[in-house]
């Protein structure tokens, strides 16, 4: 009776149980942020709708001619032809300098078809329908006063080949080329050539002993052939060298762009295969290798890191001109050369040689920084062997998650697709907002700009100055960053909740789930959208700051006011903002793990993250470095391998003329997909890391003792006690003879 009293009223020795993340009762967290996020999205949609309604969508599809009339409207021809691009570019140097090409005003004529090529025998001329009695009606160009030699004329030659882009005839470089091939070895007088009927050529550009080949017999007899190509290129003639250079640059870019598009159009299936599917397969292969050789790979990466740091340290030491105890970089190189009895190549000697005294201080600073970092890395590897073993066990555990929940490897494809849609929404909204005018706001919003409505008049004044448009574009840009980060955060939190459920309840029959990923997505969307939005708002602020700093720096470079001191200042500012952004994102994403697994609010989760970092700072550092190395090696190797294989596949395809461009597209897509897959791996590692330490601190490692966590239990030296083993189901309880004896006793 006393025992029952003490059992009831005294201390409860029963080990607490973890609530199932997929079944526990949850309440909406950060509901204020959720409402704020919904209002924010409503504002974004209002601005987007305003841009669609007030923007000139026809300006995207049809350009206006120099008279201000829209091509393709009211029966006018749909294509815009630009007959005097060099002169137009030379008259607007400020726009060219600042690279704001969307503000260029070009002399345009509406035509039915874009000129494809220039024919010398029958040149094509396009009439200027605005020319009347020797005087054009041109409101955009101040240089024209009605004379035939000052930039305007009644007929314009279609000299430069053009390509149609959104009903705009954009000039491109297109050269007519003729090639001729002849055999130069053996020469035409040799017995081998005479035997196959070779006849010496009369084209002395190849030499007097070359001979033309015809037929397979003559081609097989030739050992070395020479090929001569002659090209003819046509473009608008202008006396202004700046305008000519600008036109050549524009035409070259357009020609190259459509060459790229044509090549990628013929290789679209190869790009999807090697740029999307292949990286996922390679990521699965990496997971298998990490599962089989976890420790070997981790220690190999850490040794590689030390080697790279040592090489960089030695290069900085050699270039700095420092001498420590009579030892300098030059003396080390001489000693190695003498020992090997072989001198270094000149280019290596130049690369390791002492630099001029004016800049060697940079290498001196780099040497001391790299030396300290290298020593810290070596000491950390030696002292943190236990933590590295824990990290290896966590990584090995993370690879087994995908065996039980294989859909997690495909989940980033959908989140990446959602982020692509967000990017498309941003681009369309940005373009439409750029085409809005003050008058269009009046019509769409039905504003009365008379004195009787002062608010509308104030809005009109702001819109006339362009400040309203700029403010909406800035808000639209910040909204893009917020939505983009929110999609990424939702994906991370969903995968984290699934991984948390897997860690605690994978072996529990009563807590099984048929679709844990979909269940997690539903719970995160309903209960934690506000928490994810909280993180997105904060991270997006630093994204916006980085964009503004980069824009200001680029504008200063364009106008020539960006000196060395300014460049250094902007570089330091950009680095500081980037470091703060990465730190905030790391804390936020760790916080989202606590949100997913424990159902905390975002602020509470960040406070838990801070305490977690302080308590396990060494393990957080080791995990971060190892994860960074794995992601770096994966992003460097997988895309390159996919691009190389894709290049040879495209080269063997008859539909692809320039395989280098599809290979570049494959590399870019593979980088995105590999990064997405590695982010899934990062999420699982981080979640298991948090869960296993939470399991030890709150639940006495009872969940770590499940059979599928044997690697973690081993590295933490955890063995099931009698009470713990009795709490597990017979299927879950690991075999332990010593514990069985205790239980029997």
What is the spatial distance between Cα 65 and Cα 43, in angstroms, rounded to a whole number? Answer: 36
pLDDT recorded at residue 176: 52
Strand partners of residue 157? 125
Q: In terms of C-beta distances under 8 Å and separation of at least 24 residues, what long-range contacts does 442-445 make, across chains too? A: 443/54, 444/50, 444/53, 444/54, 445/50
Output 259 or 414, whichever has higher pLDDT: 414
At which residue do the structure tokens 């600008």 appear?
246
What is the spatial distance between Cα 612 and Cα 694, in angstroms, rounded to a whole number? Answer: 10
Instruction: Answer whether residue 403 shows pLDDT above 70.
Output: yes
pLDDT recorded at residue 121: 65
Full strand arrangement of the beta sheet holding 162-165: 109-111, 79-81, 168-171, 162-165
pLDDT recorded at residue 10: 45
Angle at CA of residue 487, ends 482 and 491, nearest 5°? 145
Q: Which two tokens stand for residue 582?
A: 């990465």
At which residue do the structure tokens 């601190």 appear?
697
Cα–Cα distances in angstroms (integers) from residue 42 to residues 45, 46, 68, 435, in the given order: 5, 6, 36, 22
SS3 685: helix
At which residue do the structure tokens 């999307």 appear?
276
Q: Which two tokens stand for residue 731?
A: 């299927």
Q: Minimum mean pLDDT among 66-75, 367-376, 381-390: which range?
A: 66-75
The contacts of residue 260 (CB under 8 Å, 6+ apart) are 658, 661
Percent residues over pLDDT 70 in the chain: 76
Cα torsion through 91, 96, 97, 99, rounded to 10: 160
Instruction: Answer whether residue 471 shows pLDDT above 60.
Output: yes
pLDDT recorded at residue 132: 61
462-485: string of b/e by CB count within 10 Å (b at 16+)?
bbeeeebbeebbeebbbbbbbbbb
Confidence of residue 177 (pLDDT cuts 50, 70, 90): low
Task: With beta carbons less than 8 A apart as the criterion, state whether 555 and 98 touch.
Answer: yes
End-to-end, the C-alpha distance of the chain in Å comes to: 24
pLDDT recorded at residue 733: 43
Instruction: Answer whether residue 2 shows pLDDT above 50.
Output: no
pLDDT recorded at residue 509: 77
At which residue do the structure tokens 């990923």 appear?
517
Task: With beta carbons less than 8 A apart as the criterion, state whether 333 and 352 touch.
Answer: yes
What is the spatial distance between Cα 709 and Cα 550, in angstroms, rounded to a whole number? Answer: 47
Instruction: Answer whether residue 687 shows pLDDT above 90.
Output: yes
Alpha helix ranges (H) inside 267-359 = 268-272, 278-292, 294-320, 329-340, 346-352
Task: With beta carbons less than 8 A apart as the criterion, state whether 705 and 728 touch.
Answer: yes
Q: Where are the beta strands (DSSP E) in 643-731?
A: none
Q: Which residue, 687, 708, 705, is CA-closest to 696?
A: 705
pLDDT recorded at residue 741: 37
Please say whether the dihedral angle defined by the alpha carbons of residues 286, 287, 293 and 297, taken in this order, is positive or negative.
Answer: positive
pLDDT recorded at residue 402: 87
Q: Which two tokens stand for residue 226?
A: 């020479």
The contacts of residue 712 (CB under 8 Å, 6+ apart) are 393, 394, 397, 692, 704, 718
**pTM greater than 0.85 (yes/no):** no
Q: What is the mean pLDDT of the chain?
A: 79
Output 486 or 151, whichever has higher pLDDT: 486
Output 448 or 397, whichever has higher pLDDT: 397
In tens, the pLDDT along 119-128 reads: 666 778 888 8
What is the spatial distance between Cα 740 and Cα 721, in angstroms, rounded to a whole number? Answer: 10
Task: With beta carbons less than 8 A apart as the criterion, state whether 603 and 539 touch.
Answer: no
Q: At how many degrees (to 10) do helices 407-434 and 31-54 cross?
A: 50
pLDDT recorded at residue 724: 47
pLDDT recorded at residue 233: 54
* Pairing verdict, β 224-233 and 155-157: unpaired
pLDDT recorded at residue 378: 93
In tens, the pLDDT along 484-508 reads: 999 999 999 999 999 999 998 887 7
What is the spatial distance between Cα 389 and Cα 623, in angstroms, rounded to a whole number? Answer: 10
Mean pLDDT of 326-343: 70
pLDDT recorded at residue 238: 55
Element (H, E) at 177: strand 175-185
Strand partners of residue 125? 157
Strand partners of residue 227? 181
> What secondary structure, in 3-state letters, does 43-71 show?
HHHHHHHHHHHHCCHHHHHCCECCCCCEC
Q: Minimum mean pLDDT among 53-67, 237-251, 535-549: which range?
A: 237-251
Please say whether the dihedral angle defined by the alpha carbons of residues 201, 206, 210 and 214, taken in this order, is positive or negative.
Answer: negative
Instruction: Answer whether residue 45 shows pLDDT above 80.
Output: yes
Instruction: Answer whether residue 380 shows pLDDT above 80.
Output: yes
In tens, the pLDDT along 700-728 reads: 888 888 888 888 888 888 776 544 443 44
CA–centroid distance for 745 within its chain = 63
In tens, the pLDDT along 126-148 reads: 888 877 654 454 444 433 433 34
Confidence of residue 460 (pLDDT cuts 50, 70, 90): low
Confidence of residue 690 (pLDDT cuts 50, 70, 90): very high
pLDDT recorded at residue 742: 31
Percent residues over pLDDT 90 in the chain: 29
Task: With beta carbons less than 8 A apart as the criterion, state whether 720 and 743 touch.
Answer: no
Please say whether the dihedral angle defined by the alpha carbons of residues 502, 508, 514 and 516, taken in this order, is positive or negative.
Answer: negative
Q: Which residue, 507, 503, 512, is CA-closest to 727?
A: 507
* Pairing verdict, β 175-185 and 224-233: antiparallel
Confidence of residue 256 (pLDDT cuts 50, 70, 90): low
Confidence of residue 43 (pLDDT cuts 50, 70, 90): very high
SS3 206: helix
What is the spatial distance between Cα 48 and Cα 87, in angstroms, rounded to a whole number? Answer: 37
Q: Minimum mean pLDDT among 82-91, 228-237, 357-366: which range?
A: 228-237
Q: Which two tokens stand for residue 92?
A: 């607007």
């Amino acid at each position: 009776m006393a025992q029952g009293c003490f059992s009831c009223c005294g201390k409860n020795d029963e080990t607490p149980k973890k609530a199932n993340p997929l079944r526990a009762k949850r309440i909406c967290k950060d509901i204020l942020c959720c409402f704020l996020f919904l209002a924010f999205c409503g504002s974004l949609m209002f601005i987007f709708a305003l841009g669609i309604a007030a923007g000139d969508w026809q300006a995207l599809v049809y350009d206006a001619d120099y008279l201000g009339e829209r091509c393709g409207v009211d029966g006018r021809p749909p294509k815009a032809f630009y007959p005097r691009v060099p002169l137009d570019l030379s008259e607007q140097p400020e726009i060219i300098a600042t690279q704001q090409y969307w503000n260029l005003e070009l002399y345009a004529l509406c035509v039915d078809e874009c000129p494809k090529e220039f024919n010398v025998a029958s040149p094509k001329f396009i009439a200027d329908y605005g020319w009347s009695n020797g005087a054009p009606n041109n409101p955009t160009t101040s240089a024209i006063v009605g004379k035939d030699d000052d930039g305007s004329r009644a007929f314009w030659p279609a000299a430069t080949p053009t390509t149609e882009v959104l009903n705009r005839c954009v000039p491109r470089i297109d050269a007519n080329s003729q090639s001729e091939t002849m055999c130069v070895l053996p020469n035409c007088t040799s017995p081998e050539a005479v035997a196959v009927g070779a006849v010496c050529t009369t084209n002395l550009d190849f030499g007097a002993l070359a001979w033309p080949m015809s037929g397979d017999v003559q081609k097989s007899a030739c050992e070395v052939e020479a090929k001569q190509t002659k090209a003819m290129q046509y473009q608008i003639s202008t006396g202004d060298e700046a305008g000519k250079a600008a036109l050549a640059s524009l035409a070259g870019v357009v020609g190259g762009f459509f060459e790229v598009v044509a090549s990628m159009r013929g290789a679209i299936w190869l790009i999807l295969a090697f740029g999307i599917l292949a990286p996922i397969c390679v990521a699965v292969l990496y997971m298998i290798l990490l599962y089989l050789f976890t420790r070997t790979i981790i220690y190999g990466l850490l040794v590689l890191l030390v080697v790279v740091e040592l090489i960089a340290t030695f290069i900085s030491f050699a270039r700095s001109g420092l001498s420590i105890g009579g030892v300098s970089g030059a003396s080390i190189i001489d000693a190695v050369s003498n020992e090997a009895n072989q001198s270094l190549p000149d280019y290596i000697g130049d690369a390791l040689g002492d630099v001029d005294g004016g800049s060697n201080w940079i290498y001196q600073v780099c040497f001391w920084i790299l030396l300290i970092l290298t020593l810290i890395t070596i000491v950390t590897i030696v002292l943190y062997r236990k933590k590295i073993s824990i990290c290896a066990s966590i990584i090995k555990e993370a690879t087994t998650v995908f065996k039980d929940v294989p859909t997690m490897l495909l989940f980033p494809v959908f989140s990446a697709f959602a982020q692509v849609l967000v990017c498309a929404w941003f681009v369309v909204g940005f373009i439409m907002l750029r085409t809005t005018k003050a008058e269009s706001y009046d019509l769409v919003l039905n504003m009365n700009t008379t004195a009787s409505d002062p608010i509308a008049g104030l809005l009109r004044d702001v819109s006339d100055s362009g400040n309203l448009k700029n403010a909406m574009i800035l808000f639209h840009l910040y909204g893009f960053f917020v939505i983009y980060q929110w999609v990424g955060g939702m994906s991370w939190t969903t995968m984290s909740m699934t991984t948390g459920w897997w860690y605690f309840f994978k072996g529990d029959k009563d807590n099984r789930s048929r679709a844990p990923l979909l269940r997690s997505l539903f719970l995160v969307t309903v209960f934690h959208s506000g928490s994810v939005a909280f993180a997105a708002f904060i991270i997006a602020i630093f994204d916006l700051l980085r964009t503004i700093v980069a824009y200001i720096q680029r504008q200063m470079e364009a106008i020539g006011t960006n000196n060395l001191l300014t460049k250094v200042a902007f570089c330091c500012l950009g680095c500081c903002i980037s470091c703060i952004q990465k730190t905030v994102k790391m804390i936020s994403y760790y916080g989202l793990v606590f949100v997913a697994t424990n159902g905390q609010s975002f602020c509470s989760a960040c406070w838990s993250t801070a305490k977690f970092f302080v308590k396990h700072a060494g393990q957080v550092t080791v995990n971060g470095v190892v994860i960074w190395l794995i992601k770096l090696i994966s992003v460097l190797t997988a895309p390159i391998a996919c691009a190389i294989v894709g290049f040879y596949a495209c080269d063997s395809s008859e539909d692809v003329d320039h395989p280098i461009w599809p290979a570049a597209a494959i590399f870019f897509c593979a980088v995105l997909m590999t990064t997405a897959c590695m982010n899934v791996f990062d999420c699982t590692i981080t979640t298991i890391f948090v869960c296993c330490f939470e399991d030890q601190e709150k639940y006495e490692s009872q969940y770590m003792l499940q059979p599928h966590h044997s690697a973690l239990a081993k590295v933490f030296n955890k063995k099931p006690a009698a009470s713990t083993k009795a709490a597990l189901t017979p299927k879950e309880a690991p075999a332990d003879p010593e514990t069985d004896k205790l239980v029997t006793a």
